[in-house]
Each structure stands twice: as C-alpha cells, then as structure tokens.
Structure 1
Amino acid sequence: MAYSKPFPLLPLLSIAVILALHTPMAAAQLRHFCANFATSPPDSRFQKNLNTLLGNLSSNTPRNGYSSGTAGKCTDKVYGLALCRGDVSTTDCKSCVADATTKIRELCPKNNGGIVWYDNCLLKYSQDDFFGEIDDVNKFYMANGEEAKDPKSFMQKTKELLTRLADKAALLKSSYAAGVEDIGGSVTLYGLTQCTRDLSAEDCKKCLYNAIAELPQCCGTAKVGGRVIQGSCNFRYETYPFYKGA
C-alpha cells in the first residue's frame, strides 16, 4: 500500500484508461486523485503546514529533479514529495512543480492527501508517512489508439525493452532510465521507466515489474504507445521519440 493507512480515492476518480494523441504531450496535467480519508478547513494547522511543505518542494525539487519532506508535528504533520521526469530541464522542472503545487490546492482544497501528475512531474502529499512504500493504489493508464501490425511480436518486444529499462532504473541514483529498440520493419520502439527516489532499488524494480505486468490492461492486444502511471513509478513506450535525448 502507498500509505500506512489506505489512501482511498473519491468515487468519481477511479482508475481510467485515456486515449493519448500520437504527438508528444507538453507539460500538461494528466490526472489527479484526492484522498477522502480526512479533511481539514483551510485555516487549520494541517493546511498551514501543507502550504509550508508545498513551498519547500517547489523551491527544492528543481535542484536535482526530486525532493521530499515534512512539515509540522504529531497529528498535524504532512508528508510530501515531488519528482520531475528524468529528461526535463531544470527550468521545465521548476515550472512544472510550481504549477503542481498551485493546482493541487485548487483540486484538493480541504483534503489531507492528494496526488497530481503532469507530463513533466509528479507531486504527492498525505497526512500519513508513505516514504519508502510502493504506491500501486493511485494509478491510471494511457494508450495510443493505433494498433501494431504484428501484435504478439510487438508486445513481446515492448515488454522486453521495458523490463530492461526497469532493471537499469532500479540500479541508478536517478531511478530513471530511457532507451530504444529496433524491432524491425523500420519501426523503432522508445521506452522510459522511472521511480520516485524514496523507494529502495528492490522496491523500484518491484514497482516497475508490477506496472509492466499491467500492459494488457493498459494497452490491449498491442497499442503502439502506452503508459502505466502509478504513485511510485511509471513507464511509457512509443514508436516515436517522446523524451529528450532520444
């Protein structure tokens, strides 16, 4: 579980499959969930601590693409982290996290937990200590509408590429890996895997392996692009360059 206590989602914010465009997305907001296990008024000590934490995350994350922290004490303590995609620039990271810290307050104004994903970053907070725990509760899928011409072979090679990148990401300090694979027929497959850096190498690998196992749910028989995006890790693959350096 992602938290020491469950992080249930509001009923209208269940896991969704979203059809993605065939063009690379900018730093658009992808999805958000608000926790419904507790709320507090805007003038409460918890919400004031949350404002402090979000300000710290906005300031600290662009330095190396990741930061985590706490604010407050006892029952008013809040935990949070922010992560930028491994290939984005410091400027884009700063912009994305700044947007996320503002947007999460609008989306979850009274909630004691929330998570928002952008194409370039992730931001999450909770009243419960979730550091070092795999969050596979908060997740969603995105898939390209186009089908591969040779479904069985395509999905096998996709799984092989993502597994290789998962192994690599788990061993790196950045917890991020990207790579390409020539799968024949003039088709090149591009892949990306990433974990939040509070996870151990073992748990990063476990999180990504579990996400890869959801390829059928995410991407049907053989969509030519797709993502499984969770609170602690994510992967993406496409048949076009979608990350910097590809």
Structure 2
Amino acid sequence: MQFLIIHSVSSLNLTNEYLSHICLINQGKYNSGSEYEYNLNYLIDDIRTSHHEVGFTKVSFGNTTANFAQVIVQCRGDSYGSKCNTCFDTAISGFQKRCPNNKGGRIWYDQCFIYVSTVDVELPGKTIYENIFSMHNPQKVRGDAKLFAKKAIDFLSELTLKVQKPTKINHRLVYYAAGEKKVGKNTLYAMVQCLELTVDCTSCLTWSITKLFKKNDIKQGGRVLGTNCDVRYELYPFLRS
C-alpha cells in the first residue's frame, strides 16, 4: 500500500518571503532627526558592513534610556555571509515600512529574523512563548496522516537532539540542525534552530514541535517561528546544502 499519494518537488525552493511582524507599541516612537534615530541607523550601518559568518549578531548603542537601541539578527542556518546580509537589508526595510518610527519590534522573513528594542534584551532567559506563531502548507497529507505525523515528530525530535550538541564555527555555537528522511515514497525535509543566546533551546523546540502537530488536520508542510526557536518540515527541499 502506498503510504502517501503526494508528488514531491525535486527542485530547491529557496525564497525570502515576509512572514510576520510585531510592532512593540509600548516602547514608543522616535522623531526624525532624534538621537535615537541616529543610534539605530548607526547600528544598521554597522551590521551591514560586518560579516555574518555564522548568521548571528547582537549590537547596541546609546547611554540613556531615551536613546538606547539594540538590534539582534538571526539568519537561518544555511544563510550565512552575503546571504545573511541580503536578508537583513530586506528585513530592516520591511520593519521600517511596517513599524514606521517604532523604537521596538520584531520581523520574520524566510531566511532571517530581526529584533529591535530599546532595552538590553536578555534572551538567555525563559523562552518568549507568547510571540510564537505557526504556518502550514494548505495541502493535506493523504493516506495515513497519523503515521506521517508520528514519523515527522520523530525526525524533528532527532534533529533536536543534535542541537543539544551545537556546532562551533568561528568561536560561536550554532544551534541548528537539518536533514532529510524517506517517508514512504516521499522525502521529508526538516530543520530546527535556536537563537544563539537561548539557554532552554530543547524546551523551546519540543514545545514548538508539539504545537506544529497539535491538530489532527495534518498538512504536507508546516513551521513554527518565534523569538527563540524555529522548526519546519516540508515534502520539498527548502534549504541550501
């Protein structure tokens, strides 16, 4: 019996689409020409000229509550160097368009995430679960959907175990794992990733995987994104090797 009646996509489907954003209204807005705007632009220029060899950076500038700005950039595990910078340019423009003159906010794109804040964000603390959201492929899994879900959960859990032993690249720990696995006659592609500063990475990923398959309406693909961690699976390749 055929396990799934689905045509998988053989070509790499790389995109950098806008996914979601949050404007942090409680952090207020800045005026054009203000010291805060100068500090934020200084950080943006600094990030653009730096080398994102492992796709993560956290920078801040300012010495008072009124002008302090911080920017955190996390690129997807396969988007380093110039690819990370390209996503950052797209995302920062998107943030300024969707949250004009907001001092704080978050924005997600397919290959990167940006967090702008007026406070020194201590992300090594507990995971910010209220900012986690999910997205799903509109196509349902045909065949034994429960068995597919079990295999997908098992595979994402295997990748989560790999993240517990992060890869060290250029003196940084990269909490990212990806792979592929045969499921019936199809290939399941998946990835898990945590923000570099997250200490409860495993808990965040485990919670996100559970959320991904919380409903019985199992889809051909899906992802959960947040401030601290991301998980994704598809029946087509979506990552660089």
**TM-score normalised by L of structure 2:** 0.84
1:226 aligns with 2:215: no
**Cα deviation code 1:166-205 (max 9, x no counterpart):** 221232121110012222x2122111011111112xx111
Work out which of the residue numbers 211, 220, 225 in structure 2 matches 1:214.
Answer: 211
1:111 aligns with 2:102: yes
1:136/1:144 Cα in 2 relative to 1: closer, same or farther (>3 Å)? same
State the alpha-carbon separation in 2 of the partners of residues 157 and 74 from structure 1.
Answer: 51
Aligned partner of 2:137 in structure 1 is 144
Aligned partner of 2:4 in structure 1 is none
Aligned partner of 2:181 in structure 1 is 181
- Superposed displacement of residue 27, structure 1: 1.3
State the alpha-carbon separation in 1 of the partners of residues 36 and 44 from structure 2.
Answer: 12
Aligned partner of 2:234 in structure 1 is 238
Q: Do 2:149 and 2:218's aligned partners in 1 also have CA atoms closer than 8 Å?
A: yes
State the alpha-carbon separation in 2 of the partners of residues 171 and 199 from structure 1.
Answer: 14
Structure 1: which amino acid aligns with 2:16? A
Between the two proteins, the alignment pairs up a number of residues equal to 220
Aligned partner of 2:170 in structure 1 is none
1:81 is paired with a residue of what secondary structure? Answer: strand
1:213 is paired with a residue of what secondary structure? Answer: helix
State the alpha-carbon separation in 1 of the partners of residues 74 and 40 from structure 2.
Answer: 17
2:156 is paired with a residue of what secondary structure? Answer: helix
1:29 aligns with 2:22: no
RMSD: 1.9
Structure 2: which amino acid aligns with 1:87? D
Which structure would you say has the larger RCO, counting Cα contacts within 8 Å and 6 or more residues apart? 2
State the alpha-carbon separation in 1 of the partners of residues 150 and 217 from structure 2.
Answer: 11
Structure 1: which amino acid aligns with 2:111? N
Between the aligned residues of both structures, percent identity stands at 31
1:72 aligns with 2:70: no
Q: Do 2:71 and 2:114's aligned partners in 1 also have CA atoms closer than 8 Å?
A: yes
Q: Do 2:54 and 2:80's aligned partners in 1 also have CA atoms closer than 8 Å?
A: no
* Greater radius of gyration (CA): 2
State the alpha-carbon separation in 2 of the partners of residues 160 and 115 from structure 1.
Answer: 30
State the alpha-carbon separation in 2 of the partners of residues 88 and 207 from structure 1.
Answer: 22
- Superposed displacement of residue 86, structure 1: 0.9
1:42 is paired with a residue of what secondary structure? Answer: coil
State the alpha-carbon separation in 2 of the partners of residues 243 and 41 from structure 1.
Answer: 40
Structure 2: which amino acid aligns with 1:180? E
- Superposed displacement of residue 121, structure 1: 1.0
1:99/1:61 Cα in 2 relative to 1: closer, same or farther (>3 Å)? farther
- Superposed displacement of residue 44, structure 1: 2.5
State the alpha-carbon separation in 2 of the partners of residues 210 and 54 from structure 1.
Answer: 33
1:28/1:156 Cα in 2 relative to 1: closer, same or farther (>3 Å)? same
Q: Give 5+ residue unaligned stretches, structure 2.
A: 1-8, 167-172
State the alpha-carbon separation in 2 of the partners of residues 92 and 27 from structure 1.
Answer: 10
Work out which of the residue numbers 163, 185, 189 in structure 1 matches 2:157.
Answer: 163
Q: Do 1:57 and 1:81's aligned partners in 2 also have CA atoms closer than 8 Å?
A: no
1:61/1:106 Cα in 2 relative to 1: closer, same or farther (>3 Å)? farther
Q: Do 1:30 and 1:118's aligned partners in 2 also have CA atoms closer than 8 Å?
A: yes
Q: Give 5+ residue unaligned stretches, structure 1.
A: 1-21
1:125 aligns with 2:125: no
Moved more, 127-136 or 168-177: 127-136
Q: Do 2:74 and 2:195's aligned partners in 1 also have CA atoms closer than 8 Å?
A: yes
**Cα deviation code 1:110-133 (max 9, x no counterpart):** 212111111111111111222323
1:178 is paired with a residue of what secondary structure? Answer: strand
**TM-score normalised by L of structure 1:** 0.82
